[in-house]
Amino acid sequence: MSMLRVNGDRLWSTLMELGAIGGTPGGGCRRLALSEEDGRARDLFRRWAEEAGCTVTVDGIGNIFARREGTERAAAPVVIGSHLDTVPTGGKFDGAYGVMAGLEALRCLRDRGLETRLPIELVAWTNEEGARFSPMTMGSSVFTGDMTLDFALSRQDPSGLSVGEALKRIGYAGETPVGGRPFTAYLEVHVEQGPLLKEGGERIGVVTGSFKARYFVATVKGQAAHVGPTLMEQRHDAMVGAAALTLEIDRIGRSRGRDGRSNAPYLELDPNVRGVIPQEVRLSCDVRHPDAGEALAMETELREACRRIAAERGVSIALDQYFEFGPINCDGAMCALIRDTAKGLGFSQRDILTVASHDAVPMMDYCPSALFFVPSDTGISHSEREYSTPEQCQDGADVLLNAVLKLAS
Amino acid sequence: MSMLRVNGDRLWSTLMELGAIGGTPGGGCRRLALSEEDGRARDLFRRWAEEAGCTVTVDGIGNIFARREGTERAAAPVVIGSHLDTVPTGGKFDGAYGVMAGLEALRCLRDRGLETRLPIELVAWTNEEGARFSPMTMGSSVFTGDMTLDFALSRQDPSGLSVGEALKRIGYAGETPVGGRPFTAYLEVHVEQGPLLKEGGERIGVVTGSFKARYFVATVKGQAAHVGPTLMEQRHDAMVGAAALTLEIDRIGRSRGRDGRSNAPYLELDPNVRGVIPQEVRLSCDVRHPDAGEALAMETELREACRRIAAERGVSIALDQYFEFGPINCDGAMCALIRDTAKGLGFSQRDILTVASHDAVPMMDYCPSALFFVPSDTGISHSEREYSTPEQCQDGADVLLNAVLKLAS
């Protein structure tokens, strides 16, 4: 079968036009889930999808589906997906690239008048990042039944606004039921968020599995007191305990070399004012490793660190898991499809593990799913410096188009 | 001269009634400056002051003056003052006690039909704590000219609401010009915020001076990046830098034994979300010592720590001073007045330094001023556990009443 090529220039200009919504002076993008910017990006995506001949529907958690009919209208669709939301310090590629690569594939099919047997759908999932509303991969997880709709709609941002209310404000509280219908297959292309493909010079990374990751909230409790007259020896400073734990978490990840990851990026202080020793700090943290046993060993070290630091610093620390993912093992046939397609296009490739969750992760148990990466040219994401070249972006869309055609034919 | 005694029961019940505004289940008080609760506390104080025969005026920064005329109406008043606002985890005594002790003194004068030569004023200063709107001692500092009115009115809380707007909302954007008129003397009684009087068993602490305190913002800059795929070796985590600095600041204070204080209680993270390594953390911190030279040595250690941690953790750290106070030397004659009054009442006493600023600190350079403490029965403040007994509260009001009478006669 001969291979098709997407229009790389069109893909790039579309991606840049989308990235201007929430665009930052340094070349990044700030488009928090269900913000006014997210609403404008959704409106633009919807218009583009309709112009590409798709029928657009929105479900109860705000997932947007753009459907291109197949000759077998009753058949389960082949679905392409990713997300339009970003973290506060986001780039123009994470998430948006996957949706725009899917749009470019649909535009190519229309350009060429190609019919497929199966319907093809392109979905922009709601709130993959979990930056404004926790937890992450919200739209896809509600779709697959891993999260209830009521729970998701009730989640609040730091100002107390709920997901349900935020959806209404931007006009994306849709009426289509969430989930409950089969997919033939799911495909997601994403920019790599680390440096491995760039280091190795491969053009495509086939995700065969994931790190094991566990997420915790460490609740450090001390005693509120005046920052001035309270003797140092009589203090129970929750932030000092949290600071010691932050350093220990960083050390645990570093001690595993290039395979370890550990983070403590999100803090809530009570109170957080200049005149009072904080009485409580809630520290969101995680440990990740490709080997599940080693991830467990990291967790054990973390629990020991909590006990030791609590004793040393005169505070209490409770560690509660709130999320986990992996290790996932990706569908072998779907991995082979991506490998074969990339090979047919003449693209170098390697197998790779994902360190972070993606919408494809909840999809893995829902239908045969593939996740694959194109290189990050800077090796960094969730940053204004996030960047993939027009050629790197085209490569992934080429693989996506041809893989979808094989599945839908 | 024979000594008068206040009505201790009335003082206590008044203090408890005031403390119910913003009262917390654990016995504390949350009454942030210019909040709805602060507004209600101000309304109650105003009514009580008018019932005690005073004329109440409000100035442009919201300071409330309750004036009791003297026989020489044109003479500069003797002024009693403190504040009604609290920190988020406040108690019922810090600030409120000083204002209510002053009210009790005015009520006693009225009960006994005592006239004074000089007018007596009781002032509730705006925003002493600086917990919602930084900086602290705002109302008194604008009054003395140490801070401009425009600067104070433009300060914003974390939601972006300005002091000027907040004053209007609670009806305390007054029309009286701020400052510009002489005081004969200023007196402030406050609960001690540490354990020293309780430890020593003294009933009155005469503040003869203060610690030297310097306040800084440490701006730690790293690089935003995804918490998952970013290799540990490639990270520049601003929060890890801030955590290392927090521990070092704690160590610097502890290394000075009972004389040292150091704090890093207030953090702003950019961003503060679960998926991104923070690119910038602004850490508000301070060092304090009774010996100004030793305070400077602590600052030097802090600056060295910033340089060392920046190099070790791959971040940059800038340390900018934003506030300082002390060492102040209190007016000798005013200290002697408090000592003599306490002695006349038969109260044990000691000289003491204040570690924290108070409204009396800016007043020290404005007119002859006295600051004195009654014991904290728990040795702790800015906490629900903040507590002084009814007897301890009466002691301070007794000293205040008799000292004011001496000054105003």
A266 CB-near residues (< 8 Å, 6+ apart): A283, A284, B269, B272, B273, B274
B33 CB-near residues (< 8 Å, 6+ apart): B85, B126, B127, B128, B129, B130, B131, B132, B133, B138, B166
Contacts of A312 in chain B (CB under 8 A): none
- Residue B2's pLDDT is what? 83
Q: Which helix (H) or strand (E) holds A218?
A: strand A212-221
In this structure, what are the phi and psi dihedrals at residue B185, rounded to the nearest 5 degrees? -165, 160
**Does position A1 have pLDDT exceeding 70, yes or no?**
no
Q: B134 CB near a chain A CB, below 8 Å?
A: yes
How far is it, in rounded angstroms, from Cα B233 to Cα B235?
6
A218 forms beta bridges with A283, A319
How far is it, in rounded angstroms, from Cα A159 to Cα A161?
6
Q: Which helix (H) or strand (E) holds B51?
A: helix B36-51
A137 CB-near residues (< 8 Å, 6+ apart): A125, A127, A128, A130, A357, A358, A359, A361, A362
Q: B288 CB near a chain A CB, below 8 Å?
A: yes
Q: What is the rounded average pLDDT for all residues in chain A?
A: 97
Q: B273 CB near a chain A CB, below 8 Å?
A: yes
How far is it, in rounded angstroms, from Cα B408 to Cα B399?
14
Contacts of A276 in chain B (CB under 8 A): 87-89, 131, 265, 382
Strands (E) located in A84-127? 120-125
- Residue B241's pLDDT is what? 98
How far is it, in rounded angstroms, from Cα B16 to Cα B9?
11
**Does position B1 have pLDDT exceeding 90, yes or no?**
no
Strands A185-191 and A204-210: unpaired
**Does position A36 have pLDDT exceeding 70, yes or no?**
yes
Nearest CB among A226, A250, A278 relative to B381 is that of A226
Q: A224 CB near a chain B CB, below 8 Å?
A: yes
Identify which of A125, A172, A61 has the alpha carbon closest to the alpha carbon of residue A360.
A125
Tell me the CA distances in angstroms from B160 to A10, B149, B154, B169, one per residue in order: 42, 18, 10, 14
B221 forms beta bridges with B280, B316
Cβ-Cβ pairs closer than 8 A, A with B, add up to: 254
Which residue in chain B has the smallest CA separation from A256? B232
Structure tokens at B208: 């003869």
Nearest CB among A237, A243, A356 relative to B228 is that of A356
Q: A287 CB near a chain B CB, below 8 Å?
A: no
Task: Show contacts of A289-294: CB within 8 Å, 24+ apart.
Answer: A289/A211, A289/A212, A289/A256, A289/A259, A289/A260, A289/A261, A290/A209, A290/A211, A290/A212, A290/A259, A290/A327, A290/A353, A291/A212, A291/A259, A292/A212, A292/A326, A292/A327, A294/A256, A294/A259, A294/A260
For A134-152, write each residue's pLDDT tens digit. Answer: 999 999 999 999 999 999 9
Question: Would the CB atoms of B130 and A237 count as touching at under 8 Å?
Answer: no
With b for 16 or more beta-carbon neighbours within 10 A and e for fewer, the B369-387 pattern comes to bbbbbbbbbbbbbbbbbbb
- Residue A148's pLDDT is what? 98
Local structure of B402: helix, strand or coil? helix
- Amino acid A95 reads G
Q: Are A172 and A64 in contact (CB under 8 A)?
A: yes
Residue of B274, B284, B321, B358 to mutate, interface with A, max A Cβ within 10 Å: B274
How far is it, in rounded angstroms, from Cα B125 to Cα B140?
6
Contacts of A195 in chain B (CB under 8 A): 231, 234
**Per-residue pLDDT band at A2 (split at 50, 70, 90):** confident
Task: Please provide the DSSP assignment of A372-397 as one string.
Answer: EEE--SSS--SSTT----HHHHHHHH
The three-point CA angle A278-A283-A286 to 5° equals 165
Question: Would the CB atoms of A284 and B274 count as touching at under 8 Å?
Answer: yes
Q: Are B190 and B97 in contact (CB under 8 A)?
A: yes
For B277-303, write each residue's pLDDT tens digit. Answer: 999 999 999 999 999 999 999 999 999
Which residue in chain B has the smallest CA separation from A272? B266
For B214-239, write each residue's pLDDT tens digit. Answer: 999 999 999 999 999 999 999 999 99
Contacts of B276 in chain A (CB under 8 A): 87-89, 131, 265, 382
B266 forms beta bridges with B284
A151 CB-near residues (< 8 Å, 6+ apart): none
Question: Would the CB atoms of B193 and A277 count as touching at under 8 Å?
Answer: no
**Does position B390 have pLDDT exceeding 80, yes or no?**
yes
Structure tokens at B380: 């702790």
Q: B86 CB near a chain A CB, below 8 Å?
A: no
For A266-325, write each residue's pLDDT tens digit. Answer: 999 999 999 999 999 999 999 999 999 999 999 999 999 999 999 999 999 999 999 898
A317 forms beta bridges with A220
Q: B293 CB near a chain A CB, below 8 Å?
A: no
**Does position A209 have pLDDT exceeding 70, yes or no?**
yes
**Rounded percentage of chain A residues whose pLDDT exceeds 90:** 98
Length, in residues, of chain A: 409
Smallest CA–CA separation between B263 and chain A, in Å?
6
Contacts of B89 in chain A (CB under 8 A): 224, 270-271, 276, 279
Nearest CB among A226, A269, A288 relative to B382 is that of A226
In this structure, what are the phi and psi dihedrals at residue A206, rounded to the nearest 5 degrees? -95, 115
Local structure of A80: helix, strand or coil? strand
**Residue B2 class from Cβ within 10 Å (0-12 exposed, 13-18 middle, 19+ buried)?**
exposed
Identify which of B368, B393, B396 has the alpha carbon closest to the alpha carbon of residue B79.
B368
Identify which of A366, A279, A354, A356 has the alpha carbon closest to the alpha carbon of residue A315.
A279
DSSP summary character for residue A258 = G
**Per-residue pLDDT band at A131 (split at 50, 70, 90):** very high
Q: Are B295 and B303 in contact (CB under 8 A)?
A: no
B349 CB-near residues (< 8 Å, 6+ apart): B202, B203, B204, B205, B206, B339, B342, B343
DSSP summary character for residue A53 = T
How far is it, in rounded angstroms, from Cα B301 to Cα B245?
11
CB atoms under 10 Å from CB of A175, counted, come to 8
The runs of H, that is alpha helices, within A137-286 are 138-144, 149-154, 163-169, 196-200, 238-254
**Residue B92 class from Cβ within 10 Å (0-12 exposed, 13-18 middle, 19+ buried)?**
buried
